[in-house]
Structure 1
Amino acid sequence: MNEHERERDGSENVVVRVSVGEHEQPSIAVVRALEEASGDDATEMRPLFDVLSPESLDRLFDDTNTTVRRGTVRFPVDDFVVRVVDGTHVELRERGEKTEA
C-alpha cells in the first residue's frame, strides 16, 4: 500500500487510504486522511475531539512492553466513515457505502 492513496471504487465513492508514519500517532493520520478526502485544511474542519478523544484512539494502538496491539476502530466523521486498522493505516469511505466491520 502506498503512503497515500485516493481512488474511486465501482460505486464512485471516494476511498482514501493513509499509512500511519513510523513516529506518528493514528489520530494525526486520521486528520491527514480527512484533509485529503474533504480538500479542506485541518484548521477549516471540525476538530477530531468533537467526535472522539484523539488521545484515547492513540492509546488503543500503543505498543506495550510485551505485545503490539491490533484491532480496528470505525467511527463516522461528517460525510465519512473512518477505519483505523491495527494503528498502521487509516481508510475513509463516504457515508452510505457499505463497509466491513
Structure 2
Amino acid sequence: MTAATKSKTNKVSTTPAMASSVLNTPETLEMILVQLDMRTILTVSVGAWLNLVTTSPSIQKALYFTPITESEGEPNEKTLNPLLKEEFPPMFPPKDSSSYDGFDFSDFK
C-alpha cells in the first residue's frame, strides 16, 4: 500500500501517520509555518515547534524578529510590522499625516 492513495475523485487521502510525519520534519514544517500569518505562527510556537520558530531564519524574518537584508528584499524599503500596526494603531500614523493628531504620551506619567 502506498503512503497516499487516490480516491475515485482524484483527491489524495492522508493518514494521521502521514500528517505526523510531515509535521515532525523540520524542513517541511518550516515551509508550512512561513506561509501562515504572524498571529498563528506565534500561537503555535509551543513544545517541539518552539525550537524551530526560534531558530529558523526564514520564520524569524516572517515574524519581523530579524531584518531582511538588501539582497533578500527591496533596498531601502521599510515595512511596518503588521501585527504591531494592528494592535497599536496610535503608534503607527497613517501615510497621510495631515489627519493625524499624534500620539498622546500624557497617559504615561
Return the structure number with greater strand share.
1
Query: TM-score normalized by structure 1?
Result: 0.24
More helix per residue: 2
Q: Which one has more relative contact order, counting CA pairs under 8 Å at least 6 apart?
A: 1
Q: Which has the larger radius of gyration?
A: 2
Q: TM-score by structure 2 length?
A: 0.23
